[in-house]
A = this chain, B = another copy of it.
Amino acid sequence: MTETSFNFSLEFTVRDYECDLQGVVNNANYQHYLEHARHEFLVSKGVSFSRLHDEGIDLIVSRVEIDYKYPLRSRDRFVVRLNIERAGNVRLLFIQEICRMPDEKLIASARVTGVATKNGKPVSPANIVIQRIEVATPEVIAGR
């Protein structure tokens, strides 16, 4: 994914409690890292989960694909990067990658599909979420 320029990145350090018996970060914790980066991205674009929720809109994940390339270990520094794209009328696709720092070794790449629901029914994110993101940063969803 070298030619992709990512629109958001967030740095982390592995905490010991995130590692498991095998001495590496437990697979499920990568989802935590990916989620936290997505939420920070949305907040940075002015998309507030609680404000949306008050309007009856919820953002939910409908599909996750993660390729685990290399494990993170105790105290590793790493960065989670992401891009966002529309996928059809009602879905958002987050393209994410996790790279160890500072050597940029690719740890995992992920594709996470999100859906916006209004009062429980899928709605076009173009009208709700993307719109808000576009206002702030038109280039974000310009596609690859």
Q: If A20-B16, A28-B29, A28-B31 touch, does A62 touch B68 (CB 8 Å cutoff)?
A: yes
- Chief secondary structure at chain A's binding surface: mixed
Which residues of A18-33 are within 8 A (CB) of B? 19-23, 26-29, 31-32
Q: How far is the CB of A14 from chain B (nearest CB, A)?
A: 10
Query: How far does the alpha carbon of A58 sit from the alpha carbon of B35 in the complex, in Å?
Result: 28
The proximity string for A residues 39-62 relative to B, scoring 1 for CB distances below 8 Å and 0 otherwise, is 100010000011000000010111
Contacts A31-B31, A63-B65 known; list 4 others, CB within 8 Å: A16-B49, A17-B32, A61-B68, A63-B66
Tell me whether A35 and B27 are in contact (CB under 8 A).
yes
Interface residues of A, Cβ cutoff 8 Å to B = 15-17, 19-23, 26-29, 31-32, 35-36, 39, 43, 49-50, 58, 60-68, 71, 74-75
Residues on the B chain within 8 Å of A66, using CB: 63-64
- A118 CB, min distance to chain B CBs, angstroms: 15
